[in-house]
Amino acid sequence: MFRNLPVALESAKASLLQIDKSIEEAATNLGASSLRVFTEITLPLIKPAIFTGMAYVFVHCMTAVSAVIFLTSASWNHMTVLILNQTEILRFSAAAVLCLVLIVIVLVAFALLKWILGRNPLQKEIVT
């Protein structure tokens, strides 16, 4: 679910960005509080996008077969599976080290991506 959450959030964000700022200002100007503007104006307008995102995540999670099944073999082990195995036999220190390695790999990958895209200012916002 967490893996698919950004997709749902992005869809809601895109829908939010499409709302003309003056629509919310009009409601405020007529006397609505921030909470009322959000519940009565903003939320109904982004509702379709939120539900679409939620439906996507739900369907994806319900029908997913983990890639781990295909990657793990007798000679190769997946790092996340290894972490789980180490945790199950209560070797937390080994699990922690593996977690750290995993985090570093992810960070390096992100830094690399940011460096590549960062050279083009128009693409800067893609990696957040």
Q: State which of positions 37-96 bind another protein (CB under 8 A).
A: 41, 44-45
* Token duo for residue 20: 């003309």
Helix (H, G, I), strand (E, B) or coil at 32: coil
> Which of 16, 26 has the CB closer to another protein?
26
Q: Work out how close the CB of 55 gets to another protein at its nearest, in angstroms, rounded to a whole number.
A: 20
Task: Please identify, among the stretches 32-40, 77-85, 90-98, 119-127, the one whose residues bind another protein according to the rule CB under 8 A.
Answer: 32-40
* Token duo for residue 37: 């503007």
Q: Can residue 114 be called a binding residue for another protein (CB under 8 A)?
A: no
> Which of 23, 84 has the CB closer to another protein?
23
CA distance from start to end of the chain: 20
Q: Work out how close the CB of 83 gets to another protein at its nearest, in angstroms, rounded to a whole number.
A: 44
